[in-house]
């Protein structure tokens, strides 16, 4: 029995150490896609927490944001977190969909003020790959 406890303790310590190393390395990443991905879920959770207390946010948006936070912190997942690459995928998809739903009724300025990371990432999440209308290539603008 004590051997099983030792093995479980070592496994837990290794898991905690690997999480700490990932957090430290994520702060040292150069600006770019990989850093954006590492900051995305924590930024979404922070934004949802900040917006839940804002009077400019309607009730249905607050409910969607609460569901997003509960989804991320819940230990029950559609895809287990330990699976490489696809583990956090269900969290990301759920958060993006719920954030986009809530953002339809929240003023854009309020949303940007609550977002702790680069506003470029939030704009891309909310607007998808759509670009602002403008002249095509070679056309005067």
Domain residue ranges of the chain, discontinuous segments joined by +: 1-30, 31-127
List, for residues 83-102, the tens digit of each pLDDT value.
776 777 777 788 888 888 98
List, for residues 100-138, the tens digit of each pLDDT value.
898 888 888 898 899 988 788 888 878 764 444 444 444
Q: What whole-number distance in Å separates Cα of residue 87 and Cα of residue 98?
A: 19
DSSP H or E stretch at residue 41: helix 33-52
Stated pTM of the model = 0.61
Burial class (CB in 10 A: 0-12, 13-18, 19+), 34: exposed
Residue 61: C-alpha distances to residues 87, 97, 114 (Å): 26, 12, 14
């Amino acid at each position: 029995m004590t051997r099983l406890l030792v093995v479980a303790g070592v496994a837990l310590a290794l898991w905690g150490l690997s999480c700490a190393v990932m957090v430290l390395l994520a702060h040292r990443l150069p600006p770019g896609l990989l850093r954006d991905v590492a900051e995305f879920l924590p930024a979404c959770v922070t934004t949802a927490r900040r917006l839940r207390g804002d009077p400019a946010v309607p009730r249905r948006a607050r409910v969607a944001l609460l569901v997003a936070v509960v989804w991320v912190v819940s230990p029950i997942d559609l895809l287990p977190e330990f699976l490489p690459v696809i583990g956090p995928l269900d969290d990301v998809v759920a958060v993006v969909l719920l954030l986009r739903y809530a953002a339809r009724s929240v003023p854009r300025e309020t949303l940007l003020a609550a977002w702790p990371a680069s506003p470029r990432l939030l704009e891309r999440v909310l607007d998808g790959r759509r670009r602002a209308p403008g002249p095509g290539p070679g056309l005067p603008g």
